[in-house]
């Protein structure tokens, strides 16, 4: 979840590192630091708070050099303080480490090193690794790159957990060292300079040529080249690929926040998700990336999905779409729970890992468990070259472009669209008629324009959000296809506005949550004119009978609902299965405007980070 940037070349490193950290601040923003190597010495600057605090410190106390590492932190071990900020040094000050991940046995390593006379200055797990590495390097009795690499291998064999590392050694002034296990790390290949980073967005302004390291890889990065090695000193196999987007795609442009930009990008990203994937002639979808034959897919008898957060909500909606159109039993699990269950896998079970980043630790662990049990595994993710994209047997890319706002928006829409395409394809392999398939294609093609109509309601939604921004708690209620969106709407509101919110199936309200209803607790009802409309209205009336304020997301032109709700957010008429996508965009805007009205930091909500690469 933390952000790492390192560089080596001919340009001053500090400005490059700070710029890269700004592009990675969504991965953690508790504290930040840089370490530069010059004239055989490592000098660091570290500061709790946002990147601006570090930049101010560097303006007061500048450091120079063309080789450096840097870090923006999401705290795991130890509070966000100057001392706990990265980089961390060994006892001699000759080795500096920045780290994304968790060293699970750090306490045991710390105790052992303290017994041998080491004195620690931070509360972090990372310092234990830095101190261990320093001791092993000192024990080598030699200096230079070969001795340091051997010490690094010995240190990494001692630690358990996950890590993406960038390391400086004062005895190796022409190299930056990297290592990866469970946390993403890439090499950026520039002209007369190379980079290490935890995310391509940090370096895409300088190079779009990157190599993705695999678990167990070590990297020696120099100004003009790099080596990738395995832990046993064998050369690693890494492929150089080109990043699809440029630096401008990761900028806010004219929008005040990344989140608002990404909400408004959804018509475009949805068209990207559909481009080249619809075959009206055969009334089906075209999904060549699955790497499975029609016969293999026709033999799938059960689908198991795993995901986290917003991706899990997309999976819930995808589960309904697959069962509705393909008639294949489907189940979606929280990846964090799935990895510790012992679910049975039949011979014909297909496993789907759903993730925006492709690096979510729990989802990656669930994918590996499914492979271990013999399931065929596919990934649905947004990042080409990510761990899940590489380790899955095939899958679907979202083509949504970089998502910088911590609260996921456009990825959800693209994930559901990808699952709808899969439902269409599997349905046409089974019982779904050509007429029904053609209708589903038309429904998908209509979605981008309908989302544009919802986005045109932004000012109306802003007025509603301002009206209810003082609520201490909000209920989100929907039925059938709208239930996952009720969950997602509640998540968006709570994570960026800090208003407590809960999502429920509307009919379940009577089984407990209705006790929360009073005149100060608004209920957001998702009630488009679908097959559940009358029943949802009955649930709405139950809230009104208890004087609960109602915000209705309803089909435009619905006069009946206008008399039953304090506020109405209209959405275009759409089929039951896709109306929730339109409602979800409306709820994204509702959450965004509520958070802005409350003065929240929308793109960097407290305690959160974008890509959860630790358990």
10-26, pLDDT tens digit by residue? 999 999 999 999 888 76
Same domain, 325 and 214: no
Residue that wins the pLDDT comparison between 270 and 82: 270
Q: Judge if 189 and 105 occupy the same domain.
A: yes
Residue 432 in domain = yes
- Check 46, 181, 604, 610 and give the catalytic one: 610
Q: How confident is the model at residue 609 (pLDDT cuts 50, 70, 90)?
A: low
Strand ranges across the sheet with 67-73:
41-48, 31-38, 67-73, 3-8, 194-197, 186-189, 209-212, 240-242
Q: Is 315 exposed, middle or buried (0-12, 13-18, 19+ CB in 10 A)?
A: buried
Kindly state whether residues 82 and 200 are assigned to the same domain: yes
Rounded distance, CA 358 to CA 364, Å? 8
Q: CB count, 10 Å around CB of 313?
A: 29
Q: Give me the pLDDT at residue 137, please.
A: 94
* 51 and 148 housed in the same domain: yes
pLDDT for the residue 214 = 87
- pLDDT single digits (tens) 463-484: 999 999 999 999 999 999 999 9
What sign does the CA torsion over 523, 514, 496, 450 have?
A: negative
Q: Which of 2, 172, 381, 527 is catalytic?
A: 2
Clarify whether residues 413 and 269 are in a common domain: yes
Residues 447, 481 within the same domain: no
Domain-ending residue, one of 222, 250, 278: 250
Mean pLDDT for the stretch of residues 121-137 = 92
Token pair 């009073």 is found at 518
Domain-embedded: residue 202: yes
Nearest-5° Cα angle at 334, 583 to 163: 115
Q: Report if residue 608 sits inside a domain.
A: no
* Predicted pLDDT of residue 202: 86
End-to-end, the C-alpha distance of the chain in Å comes to 10
Cα gap 550→357, rounded to integer Å: 36
Partners of residue 35 on adjacent β-strands: 44, 69
The count of structural domains within the chain is 3
Residues 446 and 463 in one domain: no
Q: What is the pLDDT of residues 360-369, one digit of tens each?
A: 889 999 999 9
Give the pLDDT confidence score for residue 401 in this predicted structure. 87
Pair (246, 266) in one structural domain:
no
For the chain, state the CA radius of gyration.
Answer: 26
* Among 228, 250, 272, residue at a domain's last position: 250
Q: Quick one: pLDDT at residue 268?
A: 95
Position with higher pLDDT, 321 vs 76 = 321
Same domain, yes or no: 448 and 518: no
Domain membership of residue 193 (yes or no) is yes
CATH of residue 552's domain is: 3.40.50.10490
> Does one domain contain both 269 and 227?
no
Packed helices 434-455 and 410-429: angle between N→C axes, nearest 10 degrees:
170
pLDDT of residue 249: 66
- What is the DSSP code (8-state) at residue 530? S
- At which of 250, 272, 306 does a domain end? 250
Structural domain boundaries, residue 392: 252-456
What's the CA gap between 590 and 469, in Å, rounded? 10
Q: Is residue 98 part of a domain?
A: yes
Residue 84 in any domain: the answer is yes
CA 195, CA 222: separation in Å to the nearest integer?
Answer: 9
Q: How far apart are CA 297 and CA 243, in angstroms?
A: 31
Q: Is the pLDDT of residue 33 over 70?
A: yes
Domain membership of residue 609 (yes or no) is no
Whether 428 and 492 map to the same domain: the answer is: no
Report in angstroms the alpha-carbon separations of 513 from 351, 478, 505, 507, 510: 34, 13, 10, 10, 7
- Is residue 612 assigned to a domain? no
Residue 461 and residue 449 share a domain: no
Annotated active-site residue 169? The verdict is no
The answer to whether residue 259 scores a pLDDT higher than 70 is yes
pTM, to two decimals: 0.83
Q: Does the annotation mark 2 as catalytic?
A: yes
């Amino acid at each position: 979840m933390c952000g790492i940037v390192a560089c080596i070349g001919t340009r001053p490193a500090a400005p490059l590192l700070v710029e890269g950290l700004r592009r990675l601040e969504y991965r953690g923003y508790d504290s930040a630091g840089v370490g530069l190597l010059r004239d055989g010495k490592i000098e660091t600057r570290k500061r709790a708070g946002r990147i601006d605090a570090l930049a101010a410190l560097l303006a007061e106390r500048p450091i120079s050099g063309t080789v450096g590492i840097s870090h923006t932190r999401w705290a795991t071990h130890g509070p966000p303080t100057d001392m706990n900020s990265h980089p961390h040094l060994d006892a001699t000050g000759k080795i500096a480490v920045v780290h994304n991940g968790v060293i699970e046995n750090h306490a045991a390593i710390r105790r052992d090193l303290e017994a041998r006379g080491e004195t620690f200055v931070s509360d972090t797990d990372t310092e234990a690794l830095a101190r261990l590495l320093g001791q092993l390097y000192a024990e080598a009795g030699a200096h230079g790159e070969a001795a340091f690499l051997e010490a690094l291998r010995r240190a990494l064999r001692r630690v358990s957990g996950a890590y993406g590392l960038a390391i400086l050694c004062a005895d190796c002034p022409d190299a930056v060292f990297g290592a990866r296990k469970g946390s993403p790390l890439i090499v950026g290949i520039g002209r007369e300079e190379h980079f290490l980073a935890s995310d391509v967005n940090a370096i895409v302004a300088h190079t779009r040529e990157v190599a993705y390291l695999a678990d167990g890889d070590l990297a020696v990065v120099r100004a003009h080249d790099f080596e990738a090695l395995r832990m046993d000193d064998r050369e690693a196999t890494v492929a150089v690929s080109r990043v699809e987007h440029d630096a401008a795609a990761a900028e806010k442009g004219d929008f005040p926040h990344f989140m608002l930009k990404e909400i408004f990008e959804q018509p475009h990203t949805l068209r990207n998700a559909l481009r080249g994937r619809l075959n009206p002639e055969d009334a089906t979808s075209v999904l060549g990336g699955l790497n499975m034959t029609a016969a293999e897919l026709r033999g799938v008898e059960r689908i198991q999905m795993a995901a986290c957060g917003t991706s899990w909500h997309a999976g819930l909606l995808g589960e309904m779409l697959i069962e509705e159109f393909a008639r294949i039993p489907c189940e979606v699990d929280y990846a964090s729970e799935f990895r510790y269950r012992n679910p049975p896998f039949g011979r014909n079970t297909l496993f789907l890992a759903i993730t925006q980043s492709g690096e979510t630790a729990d989802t990656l662990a669930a994918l590996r468990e499914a492979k271990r049990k013999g399931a065929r595994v596919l990934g649905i993710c947004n990042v080409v070259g990510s761990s899940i994209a590489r380790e899955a047997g095939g899958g679907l890319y979202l083509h949504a472009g970089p998502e910088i706002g911590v609260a996921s928006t456009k990825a959800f829409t693209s994930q559901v669209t990808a699952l709808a395409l899969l439902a269409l394809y599997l349905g046409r392999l089974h019982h779904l008629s050509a007429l029904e398939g053609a209708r589903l294609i038309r429904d998908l093609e209509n979605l981008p324009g309908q989302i544009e109509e919802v986005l045109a309601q932004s000012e109306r939604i802003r007025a509603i959000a301002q009206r209810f921004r003082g609520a201490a708690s909000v209920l989100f209620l929907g039925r059938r296809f709208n239930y996952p969106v009720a969950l997602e709407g509640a998540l968006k509101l709570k994570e960026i506005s800090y208003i407590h919110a809960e999502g429920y199936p509307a009919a379940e309200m009577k089984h407990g949550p209705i006790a929360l209803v009073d005149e100060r607790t608004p209920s957001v009802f998702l009630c488009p004119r679908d097959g559940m409309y009358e029943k949802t209205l009955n649930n709405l009336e139950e809230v009104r009978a208890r004087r609960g304020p109602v915000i209705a997301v309803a089909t435009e032109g619905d006069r009946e609902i206008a008399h039953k709700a304090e506020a109405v957010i209209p959405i275009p008429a759409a089929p039951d299965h896709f109306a929730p996508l339109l409602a979800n965009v409306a709820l994204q805007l509702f959450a965004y405007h509520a958070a802005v009205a409350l003065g929240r930091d929308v793109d960097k909500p407290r305690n959160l980070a974008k890509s959860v690469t630790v358990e």
